[in-house]
């Protein structure tokens, strides 16, 4: 996925670029990101080691946000997934096996301190490329089974959501049912 903000008059371009390679064993395994390459525009970096660490951390945080971290609430609105036993955050096995981050050179920001640029949100949002790669893989799996490749997949793309989105003879037998007089034990927002 390539995200480029085009330069317009009075603006300084920000150019984060990422490439994702992953494999997926559907079902039952969760997709594993094999390789991620990110080129990040931070202007003239004040400390490249810190900036690269920030990019890696933000991307990993985004990976969790878009693929793992599912918030569940009780019908009364109490957050149920509020601790390590009920809330999945990225671990070492979720980080791309090969994780390459480099900083774009020759793109200073003349209006900032020492010609630097911010590092925060762009790499976090680059993790959406993993979500959409998963969605594309599920669309292919659905097409192979003769199902419509156009479907809804909500974020985060958890293993459960991926499995149910794939659609096959097994998932056709499972239908979530909540009777009119019953309340679900949890609600996903």
In terms of C-beta distances under 8 Å and separation of at least 24 residues, what long-range contacts does 5-13 make, across chains too?
12/109, 12/110, 12/111, 12/117, 13/41, 13/107
Pick the catalytic residue from 69, 76, 98, 121: 121
Closest CA to 31 of 94, 116, 104: 94
Is the Cβ–Cβ distance between 41 and 16 less than 8 Å?
A: yes
How is residue 57 written in tokens? 């951390």
**Residue 121 designated active-site:** yes
Catalytic residue list: 121
């Amino acid at each position: 996925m390539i995200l480029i903000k085009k330069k317009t008059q009075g603006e300084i371009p920000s150019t984060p670029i990422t490439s994702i390679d992953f494999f997926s064993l559907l079902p039952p395994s969760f997709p594993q990101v094999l390789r991620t390459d990110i080129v990040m525009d931070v202007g003239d970096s004040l400390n490249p080691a810190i900036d690269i660490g920030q990019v890696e951390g933000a991307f990993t945080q985004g990976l969790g946000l878009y693929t793992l971290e599912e918030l569940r609430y009780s019908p009364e609105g109490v957050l149920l997934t509020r601790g390590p036993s009920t809330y999945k955050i990225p671990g070492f096995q979720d980080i791309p096996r090969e994780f390459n981050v480099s900083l774009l050179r020759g793109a200073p920001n003349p209006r900032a301190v020492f010609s630097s640029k911010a590092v925060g949100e762009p790499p976090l949002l680059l993790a959406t490329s993993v979500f959409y790669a998963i969605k594309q893989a599920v669309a292919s799996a659905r097409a192979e089974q003769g199902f419509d490749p156009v479907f809804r997949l909500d974020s985060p793309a958890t293993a459960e959501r991926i499995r149910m989105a794939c659609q096959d003879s097994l998932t056709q037998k499972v239908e979530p049912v909540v009777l009119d007089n019953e309340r679900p034990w949890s609600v996903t927002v």
